[in-house]
Amino acid sequence: MNKPLRRIAIFCGLLILALLIRDNWLQYVKADSLKDDPKNRRVAIERYATPRGDIIVGGNPITGYAETTTGDFKYKRTYKNGAMWAPVTGFVSQAYGANQLESIEDGILSGTDDRLFFRNTLDMITGKEREGGNVVTTLNAAAQKAAYNGLKAQGAKGAVAAIEPSTGKILALASYPSYDPGTIAGGSTSDEEAWKKLQKKNNPDDPMLNRALREVYPPGSTFKVVTAAAALENGLYTDADSPTKTPLPWTMPGTTTVLKNEGNIPCKNATLRVALQYSCNTVFGKVGSDLGNDKMLEEAKKFGFTEEQFTPVRTSASVFSDDMNPSQTALSSIGQFNTAATPLQMAMVASAVANDGTLMKPYMVDEVQTHNLDPLETTTPEELSKPLSAANAEILQSMMETVVEKGTGKNAQISGVKVGGKTGTAQHGVDNSENPYAWFISYAKLSDNSSPVAVAVVIEDENAVRDDISGGGLAAPIAKKVMEAVIGNRK
């Protein structure tokens, strides 16, 4: 080969090599970034080119799909009772993306997950249109309805979380006010207007906030259940009925400030049972101060505080601080100072007590399936921690049941069912200047000693008369309805 031809051959070879390198760079190195590029509409077009799979509750879909009449997206998502189920489903929108289960399980629902490759290949061979798979939830439709309708009837902001103690299955997850995800599922002008109205800057009610998972509130006196557990687990007290030697008044250590109780209640030298029944700040503040920050923090962590939970939807971490002095620890131990918790967190507290001291990891996806219902993955219940021994859990159960039988939680009583609970009225605003939050946490036990449900309810009513706000008055009746919905005919 003469010199000019050799040069041309080498140059052509280099061009081919450069083409191969560029092709492999695009296909393998840059594939993910190109796929996720917001300017790449092909991915979105493919996502909405086939029917989206369903999110299932109790064997019935709470989602659907509809064909669009304009644009290059063939299908869009529809929802049944969208506002009620929004804290579970989240939304998927042609214009605004997706969140919660719609986002986390998008691969299954859109039919693009690698686990669906074999099924999609068979459908391609047979000429069948590709379809998304299904996400089967742990939710209980009756419990969710009771929770949402209870909040709606109250007319105030609030949330409900309910768990099956023995497994960690989430049975209800309600937030109010809410929104219908179907109004923002498309890409039309009307969807744009609906989206703007839902944004917090345009709507102070913030209806897209998932208050059950993402909002942290001061838990008030419901946190006294955690403090009682710490007292029992650390041997500060060994039973529910021994005097605690708590003076009245009680001055917080290192201060001249007296910790006050609500009203004229029998808190002097009260037992743990009486202190929980009447919600004595002095007793539980002194317990927290006597145990110290480290032991209180250790117990709070066993119940799930300070860690995000993934259900698989992310839950905000609940707060119990370290490096607190004795008086700050006292206030934190009655659910004030900077202690804060999500409703799901406080449902976990009640759940662990009901489940004889074992806390199960909360989850809301039971199974993912192909579109023809073949299971791809099933969730196995998992122990998260053991905040209490079985013996101490039994003591705490008896104390919480006294609260409902004789104390501040009477509105949660259910005929023929043992109910344990704790009310809370948490301070809100600078110097408690705003209306307090009303809390109630509870569990139900059947005659066979099984516990099918634990519930947490929080109400933030900005318009209520301050003196009318109480956990027993506003939150306990909602918890009762949720528990009754789960129990159904199982009494």
Catalytic sites, residue numbers: 221
For residue 387 the two structure tokens come to 């905040």
Distance CA 386, CA 299 (A): 10
Q: Is 414 in contact with 484 (CB distance < 8 Å)?
A: yes
Distance CA 408, CA 277 (A): 7
Q: Which of 392, 232, 386 is nearest to 304 (CA)?
A: 386
For residue 383 the two structure tokens come to 């122990």
Contacts of residue 132, defined as CB under 8 A and 6 or more positions apart, other chains included, come to: 50, 51, 52, 53, 108, 109, 110, 111, 371
Other beta carbons within 10 angstroms of residue 416's beta carbon come to 8
Q: Is 413 in contact with 378 (CB distance < 8 Å)?
A: no
Helix axes 281-291, 293-302, angle to 10 degrees: 100
Reduced to 3 DSSP states, what percent helix, strand and coil does the chain have, rounded to the nearest 5? 40, 20, 40
Distance CA 353, CA 228 (A): 11
For residue 386 the two structure tokens come to 């053991």
| Strands 365-369 and 418-428, sheet pairing | unpaired
Q: Which of 367, 361, 332, 331 is nearest to 345 (CA)?
A: 361
Q: Which of 370, 350, 372 is nearest to 360 (CA)?
A: 350
Q: Which residues of 438-462 are buried (b: 16+ CB within 10 A; e: fewer)?
A: bbbbbbbbeeeeebbbbbbbbbbbe
C-alpha neighbours within 13 Å on the C-beta side of residue 364: 33
